[in-house]
A and B are shown apart, each in its own frame.
Chain A
Amino acid sequence: MGLISAGATIFDNGVLNHGKMTFIKKLTASSSANLTFVDGASSVVLDGTFKEYMFTFKNIHPASNNVSFQVNFRDGSTAYDAPKIATFFDAFHQENGSDSGLRYDAGGNTFDAPGTGVQVLNYNMGAENDGNLGGYLTLVNPASTTFQKMYSSSINYQYLNTYSIKTHADGYCNTAAAIDGVQFTFSSGAIAAGDICLYGISG
């Protein structure tokens, strides 16, 4: 049953037609080599349905020590290799209080100029039992076939059991091709645990 008011469809086919933040998909890691969201697979929506998508990270925990959490995007093939240009900076504070600051961090050109490689979202993450990361990544209008695809992430985590670090990785996929898949990995080893949720921002 649908409901139409003043010519506007309020709900139909079990879907409420209203601007909002809509939960799409949750993937839970369990010693997973990667967590991958592909439009049309396993109920994932990553197309022109929404103009903005948000991934949230909760208690992401690596299997290996001293690793980076990273993302890549696919732009027309099955490979996750969309060309990117980015910026990366972080605020840091050591647990013993002896060191803190704000810095632009190119990571030897790997953090801010990934090319078709992965976009690093954090670095030197430890695998101690209580270590984890949290944050988000937004992706604007990935289905556009005109514009570059802007993305922006912010992550909090513990650096090798010694620092609290807040990273900001922002950039764009320098392609007019649509992005229809997003893949998260660690630089080495599996994603031992944690949730990634995908939301669409409608309107």
Chain B
Amino acid sequence: MAVISNTTTIIDAGAISPATAGSMNLIKSITASSSGTITFTHGDNGVIFDGTYDVYVFKFINLHPQNENVDFHFQVDTGTNSNFNQPIVSGATIPYHNEADNASGLDYGTDMSQVGTAFQGLLDNASPTGNDSNGGGSLTFYSPSSDTFVKLFAAQMFGQGHGDYFAAYKTSGYVNTATALTKVRFKYAGGNIDSGEIKLYGVKG
């Protein structure tokens, strides 16, 4: 059953229309299960990543890698392209502290900063050491469908890496293209995403 009010579709096919829902709306949740990549593509499987919202937020819950000391990263693409090699300019700050309490500090994240087309780091040297280790956080895109501006992004991530280290990864930058983005891909630099969830929200302005 659909609910239509004054010609506006409020509810249909088991979902509330994004145009009529709240200010921050869940668009899509994908659960990893030994997944090589997780990709959100506008128009596929209910994913919205266009001008419907001005701001999109990905949230990462209990990401757990298959392999030891691997980076978790993302890239984007435009139109129907699927090379995931858009130009990115980025920088990162990383406060860190180990459980042994003999090393701590604040670094500029050289390994997570780039001017290039590589996958952009979100977590550095993530580790599956111990079943309880995991990473999480959020990645925000601002107006990814703009055909005028470069596409700004900001990530606030945290997790266990380099063995028994906690680190917070505060990465931001822009995709240096005026072309609208249509898809975002996440993966580890090696091995699968053993488990975890990635959720995409749209935020109304």
**Which of A's residues lie within 8 Å of B, judged by CB?**
3-8, 10, 16, 18-21, 51-52, 85-89, 102-104, 106, 109, 112-113, 140-141, 144, 146-148, 150, 152, 168, 170-172, 174, 176, 201-203
Known: A148-B134, A203-B201. 6 other contacts (CB 8 A): A5-B3, A5-B13, A18-B16, A85-B101, A141-B62, A203-B26
The stretch that binds A, out of B68-76, B91-99, B141-149, B179-187, is B91-99
Residues of A within 8 A of B135 (CB): 150
Q: Contact at A85–B99, with CB atoms within 8 Å?
A: yes
In the complex the two chains form, what is the Cα distance from A113 to B103 in whole Å?
11
Known A-B contacts A20-B21, A21-B24, A112-B104; the reply to A88 vs B95 at CB < 8 A is: yes
Within the complex, the shortest CB–CB distance from B162 to chain A, in Å, comes to 13
Q: Looking at the complex, which one of A16, A20, A87 makes contact with B166 (CB distance below 8 Å)?
A: A87
Q: Contact at A147–B24, with CB atoms within 8 Å?
A: no
Whether a CB of chain A sits under 8 angstroms from the CB of B42 is no
Known A-B contacts A8-B15, A19-B26; the reply to A150 vs B101 at CB < 8 A is: no
Q: What is the interface residue range for chain B against chain A?
A: 35 or more
Whether a CB of chain A sits under 8 angstroms from the CB of B121 is no
Which residues in chain B, 48-82, are within 8 Å of chain A measured between CB atoms? 59, 61-62, 64
Q: Contact at B134–A5, with CB atoms within 8 Å?
A: no
Q: Contact at B132–A176, with CB atoms within 8 Å?
A: yes
Q: Contact at B106–A103, with CB atoms within 8 Å?
A: yes
Interface CB pairs A-B, < 8 A, 26: A3-B1, A6-B1, A6-B12, A16-B16, A18-B21, A85-B98, A85-B101, A86-B166, A87-B104, A88-B95, A104-B95, A104-B104, A104-B106, A109-B101, A112-B104, A141-B136, A144-B62, A146-B62, A147-B62, A147-B132, A148-B132, A152-B158, A168-B170, A170-B168, A171-B166, A174-B99
Within the complex, the shortest CB–CB distance from B167 to chain A, in Å, comes to 7
Q: Contact at A3–B11, with CB atoms within 8 Å?
A: yes
Whether a CB of chain A sits under 8 angstroms from the CB of B113 is no
Mark interface residues in B31-44 (1 if CB within 8 Å of A CB, else 0): 00000000000000
In the complex the two chains form, what is the Cα distance from A154 to B102 in whole Å?
25
In the complex the two chains form, what is the Cα distance from A20 to B20 in whole Å?
13
Q: Contact at B95–A7, with CB atoms within 8 Å?
A: no
In the complex the two chains form, what is the Cα distance from A21 to B2 in whole Å?
24
Q: Contact at B136–A140, with CB atoms within 8 Å?
A: yes
Within the complex, the shortest CB–CB distance from A153 to chain B, in Å, comes to 10
Q: Contact at A20–B13, with CB atoms within 8 Å?
A: no
Q: Contact at B134–A51, with CB atoms within 8 Å?
A: no
Known A-B contacts A20-B21, A20-B26; the reply to A148 vs B133 at CB < 8 A is: yes
In the complex the two chains form, what is the Cα distance from A109 to B158 in whole Å?
20
Within the complex, the shortest CB–CB distance from B15 to chain A, in Å, comes to 7
Within the complex, the shortest CB–CB distance from B59 to chain A, in Å, comes to 6
In the complex the two chains form, what is the Cα distance from A3 to B12 in whole Å?
11
In the complex the two chains form, what is the Cα distance from A5 to B27 in whole Å?
17
Q: Contact at A102–B97, with CB atoms within 8 Å?
A: no
Whether a CB of chain A sits under 8 angstroms from the CB of B7 is no
Q: Looking at the complex, which one of B13, B29, B95, B158 makes contact with A89 (CB distance below 8 Å)?
A: B95
Q: Contact at A140–B61, with CB atoms within 8 Å?
A: yes
Q: Contact at B95–A168, with CB atoms within 8 Å?
A: yes
Minimal Cβ-Cβ distance residue in A for B63:
A147
